[in-house]
Amino acid sequence: MKNKIVVTGGTGRFGEVLKKKGPKNFLFPSKNKLNILKPNTIEKYLKQKKAKIIIHLAGLSRPLQKHEENISESINLNIIGTCNLVKICEKLNIKLIYFSTSYVYPGLKGNYKETDPLLPSNNYAWSKLGGEAAVQMYKNSLIIRACMTEKPFIHKKAFSDVKLNFIFHENVVPALIKLLNKKGIVNLGGPTQTVYNFAKKYNKFVKKISLKKLKKINFPKNASMNLNKLHRLIKKKT
């Protein structure tokens, strides 16, 4: 029997894709059964299922503005919830795979390596880095700094002056499976390009927008990542 792998945030955008595309030994507990803000539910469920790995997707992501307007919710879901998981995983010796974001990088020069200095530009990124800090303290872990989005590209406008490494959720799944036995930190995404150039391949009606028009939130201009480590890891036989 394959080791059981528990996934938090199974009702989220990537979680739903993982349900359809992932292996049969992936478990997706409801919030009632595993609530990251209630440590007793975490420990009870993981013990019951005899889980060997937990993939942590749960938390608050979009809209980014929400992290600026309600920092309590951002802190609770993205930092405290992650801290709760780290403590239980350490207690039960369960591996933790944490999905972070490319936005933790300064977003100025691009081509960031996993070892480069970090400097988030908005509260969402700070909240994810807060989660990273806890995960870093637990050595039986993997931090994935991902740049992913849903398919099709749903937005009507896309930045023509922002470079990222967008990759669709469905293309993240096979890479994740190859990374299950890895530890440390790894960047995960697709080729570096502007958001507009990525989007127009899949939505011919998408319109250009400039970062200069974004007034309410700071956004990295070039948080593109160096993916050499990712390519090296997923090419290795597991």
Model confidence over 68-125: pLDDT tens digits?
999 999 999 999 999 999 999 999 999 999 999 999 999 999 999 999 999 999 999 9
Provide the number of structural domains found in the chain: 1
Q: Reply yes or no on whether the pLDDT at 1 is more than 90.
A: no
Residue 102 included in any domain: yes
pLDDT recorded at residue 214: 83
Residue 200 included in any domain: no
Collapsed DSSP state (helix, strand, coil) of residue 233: helix
CATH number of the domain within which 115 lies: 3.40.50.720
Compute the half-sphere exposure of residue 142: CA atoms within 13 Å on the CB side of its CA: 21
Residue 214 included in any domain: no
pLDDT recorded at residue 62: 87
Tell me the pLDDT band of 217, cut-offs 50, 70 and 90: confident
Residue 13 included in any domain: yes
Q: Model's pTM, two decimal places?
A: 0.96
Alpha helix (H) ranges present in the chain? 13-21, 39-49, 65-69, 71-74, 81-92, 123-136, 169-179, 195-200, 228-235
Tell me the pLDDT band of 238, cut-offs 50, 70 and 90: very low
CA torsion sign for 115, 97, 47, 36 is positive
Residue 66 included in any domain: yes
Residue 196 included in any domain: no
Q: In terms of residue numbers, what domain contains 73? A: 5-153+165-191+224-235
Tokens of 21: 């595309």
pLDDT recorded at residue 237: 55
pLDDT recorded at residue 236: 64
Residue 209 included in any domain: no
From residue 96, give the alpha-carbon distance in Å to each of 6, 81, 85, 218.
10, 13, 8, 30
pLDDT mean over 11-34:
96
Residue 124 included in any domain: yes
pLDDT mean over 162-179:
97
Q: What is the mean pLDDT of the chain?
A: 96
SS (H, E, C) 10-43: CCCHHHHHHHHHCCCCEECCCCCCCCCCCHHHHH
